[in-house]
């Protein structure tokens, strides 16, 4: 019996895809009296569907209402909606199933990128297929599966991982283009530019930044051109949120998620500027100065300039950004978990992933599912455990950042990739 065949990537893909398809068949998403059931329960698919359904009345994002994300996902969502309703009335089950399958395709891409980066970084180790071993671990994590049916975060993670893989392989133009696509899905992948600045000479860094920023600017300019009075509100809506699910939210006494209001709010440009919570005690600009200084310190002190250095620097940049942000979104794990596994392919790295998943899911949906009587606000009775969960998760992120910094200081090699 050739048991070594079980280690092949092909075998892993069979199981990875088959498991997700079978779950989809058993727990199909659907609505009963407008209440969501199935794999998408507790996620954002119903919100996406409600916005996409407006297109049946001729209403489009940016032109007729503001949309809280850049154009890549709204375009995909409208395309999925058109395909799912081509032969009949709008149907949530068809829409959610097609969207979930699309996100699963991106998650397959994330799995392959974990394998690809792992093999590149750890070639020559005692394991002849280190990337494959990391792929099996990634396949068994719960968060990537769950968020493939809750959000479009797999697209963001895919763009970020592909951009980093391309940097490691010295395909800088491709990396910059992918970074721009990621930024037109959510803006934060633009922080990959900082990685290019650190690991390329001045000319290479400027070329990378120019490609990424120009493509992003063209996409956002097209959004504004289509958008009219809803264009600018769509771009700034995320920045006008009050703090949520973070230490900053605890300081500000904001005990809700970062969700926006009802669909009707999207037809009023002024609602995109509403704070919907208490103002920040510590303003964003002050946090930016502090965390910016930390970023500059890491930038200057970095000594490792090989592929592992690129990955570690990208991971610490993402982590610093998440710690700075006014809120925390549980789906950010989809980007963090591969970075943790690839940075620390050890039992400790696996444990960090599991602890982050456990804490995040204990917070949402477990704790927030019990806030129906308080309008989605954490009650006084729940506040101690809520605070403990946020502090524990923040402590994990800080510990991960410190471990990454130590890794960046390990090597004095002067060469660059």
Q: What is the pLDDT of residue 90?
A: 82
Under 8 Å between Cβ of 109 and 155: no
Phi, psi for residue 37 in degrees, rounded to 5: -135, 165
Tens-digit pLDDT profile for residues 265-312? 999 999 999 888 899 999 999 999 999 999 999 999 999 999 999 999
Q: How many distinct helices (H) and strands (E) make up the chain?
A: 17, 2
Q: What is the pLDDT of residue 1?
A: 44
Tell me: pLDDT of 413 over 50. no
Tens-digit pLDDT profile for residues 181-198? 999 999 999 999 999 999
Tell me: pLDDT of 373 over 50. yes
**What is the rounded CA–CA span in Å between residue 394 and residue 338?**
18
**What is the rounded CA–CA span in Å between residue 231 and residue 66?**
7
Looking at the DSSP assignment, which residues form a beta bridge with residue 30? Answer: 37
Strands 35-37 and 30-32, by their bridges, are: antiparallel
> Which ranges of 242-345 does DSSP label H, i.e. alpha helix?
247-252, 284-301, 307-324, 333-343
Question: Across residues 134-158, what is the average pLDDT?
Answer: 97
What is the percent of the chain where pLDDT is above 90? 83
Q: How open is the CA angle 203-204-206, to the nearest 5 degrees?
A: 65
Q: What is the pLDDT of residue 275?
A: 85
For residues 144-161, one letter each, b for 16 or more C-beta atoms within 10 angstroms of the residue's C-beta and e for the rest, the string is bbbbbbbbbbbbbbbbbb
Task: Give, for 30, the enclosing helix (H) or strand (E).
Answer: strand 30-32
Q: What is the pLDDT of residue 86?
A: 79
User: Which two three-digit tokens encode residue 165?
Assistant: 């893989």
Question: Across residues 40-54, what is the average pLDDT?
Answer: 95
Q: What is the pLDDT of residue 261?
A: 81
Instruction: Name the residue among 390, 405, 258, 397 with its Cα closest to residue 337.
Output: 397
Tens-digit pLDDT profile for residues 166-185? 999 999 999 999 999 999 99
Specify the 3-state DSSP secondary structure of 338: helix
Q: What is the pLDDT of residue 250?
A: 97
The residue with tokens 């009707």 is 264
Helix axes 153-168, 172-183, angle to 10 degrees: 160
Tell me: pLDDT of 112 over 80. yes
Under 8 Å between Cβ of 172 and 207: yes
Q: What is the pLDDT of residue 7?
A: 63
**What is the rounded CA–CA span in Å between residue 112 and residue 253?**
41
The residue with tokens 């002849």 is 128
pTM of the model: 0.94
- The mean predicted confidence, pLDDT, of the chain is 93
What distance, in Å, lies between the first and last C-alpha atoms of the chain? 42
Q: What is the pLDDT of residue 194?
A: 97
**What is the rounded CA–CA span in Å between residue 130 and residue 148?**
25
**What is the rounded CA–CA span in Å between residue 321 and residue 291?**
8
Question: Out of 121-135, 196-210, 302-316, 373-387, which region has the weakest mean confidence (pLDDT)?
Answer: 121-135
Give residue 375's Cα distance to chain centre: 26
Q: What is the pLDDT of residue 417?
A: 42
**What is the rounded CA–CA span in Å between residue 280 and residue 138?**
37
- The C-alpha R_g of the chain, in whole angstroms, comes to 21
Backbone conformation region of residue 197, classed left if phi is above 0, alpha if psi is from -120 to 50, else beta: alpha
Q: What is the pLDDT of residue 416?
A: 41
**What is the rounded CA–CA span in Å between residue 60 and residue 52?**
8
User: Which two three-digit tokens encode residue 79?
Assistant: 């395309």
Dihedral sign computed on CA atoms, order 390, 393, 399, 400 = negative
> Which residue ranges make up each domain of the chain?
3-408
Q: What is the pLDDT of residue 366?
A: 94
User: Which two three-digit tokens encode residue 163?
Assistant: 């951009």
**What is the rounded CA–CA span in Å between residue 143 and residue 358?**
10
Task: Output the DSSP codes for 199-258.
Answer: HS-HHHHHHHHHHHHHHHHHHHHHHHHHHGGGHHHHHHGGGGPPPBSSHHHHHHT--S-S
């Amino acid at each position: 019996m050739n048991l070594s065949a079980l280690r092949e990537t092909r075998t892993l893909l069979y199981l990875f895809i088959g498991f997700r398809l079978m779950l989809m068949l058993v727990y199909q998403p659907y609505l009963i009296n407008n209440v969501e059931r199935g794999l998408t329960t507790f996620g954002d698919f119903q919100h996406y569907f409600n916005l996409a359904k407006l297109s049946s009345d001729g209403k489009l994002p940016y032109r007729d209402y503001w949309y809280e994300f850049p154009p890549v996902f709204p375009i995909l969502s409208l395309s999925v909606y058109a395909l799912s309703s081509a032969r009949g009335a709008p149907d949530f089950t068809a829409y959610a199933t097609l969207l979930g399958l699309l996100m699963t395709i991106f998650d397959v891409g994330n799995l392959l990128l974990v394998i690809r980066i792992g093999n590149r970084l750890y070639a020559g180790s005692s394991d002849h297929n280190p990337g494959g071993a990391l792929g099996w671990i990634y396949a068994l994590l719960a968060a990537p599966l769950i968020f493939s049916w809750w959000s479009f975060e797999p697209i963001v993670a895919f763009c970020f991982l592909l951009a980093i893989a391309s940097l490691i392989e010295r395909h800088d133009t491709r990396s910059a283009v992918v970074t721009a696509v990621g930024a037109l899905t959510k803006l934060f992948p633009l922080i990959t530019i900082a990685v290019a600045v650190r690991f390329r000479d001045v000319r290479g860094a400027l070329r990378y930044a120019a490609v990424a920023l120009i493509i992003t600017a063209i996409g956002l300019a097209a959004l504004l051109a289509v958008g009219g009075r809803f264009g600018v509100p769509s771009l700034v809506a995320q920045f006008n949120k009050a703090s949520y699910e973070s230490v900053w939210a605890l300081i500000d006494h904001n005990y809700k998620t970062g969700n926006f209001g009802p669909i009707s709010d999207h037809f009023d440009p002024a609602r995109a500027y509403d704070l919907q919570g208490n103002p920040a005690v510590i303003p964003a600009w002050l946090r930016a100065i502090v965390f910016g200084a930390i970023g500059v310190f890491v930038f200057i002190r970095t000594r490792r300039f090989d592929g592992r250095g690129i990955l570690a620097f990208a991971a610490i940049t993402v982590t610093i950004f998440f710690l700075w942000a006014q809120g925390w979104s549980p789906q950010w794990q989809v980007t963090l978990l591969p970075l943790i596994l690839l940075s620390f392919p050890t039992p400790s790295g696996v444990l960090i992933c599991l602890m982050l998943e456990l804490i995040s899911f204990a917070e949402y949906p477990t704790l927030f599912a019990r806030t129906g009587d308080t309008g989605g606000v954490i009650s006084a009775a729940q506040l101690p455990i809520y605070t403990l969960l946020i502090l524990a998760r923040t402590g994990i992120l800080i510990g991960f950042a410190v471990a990454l910094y130590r890794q960046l200081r390990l090597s004095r090699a002067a060469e660059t990739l």
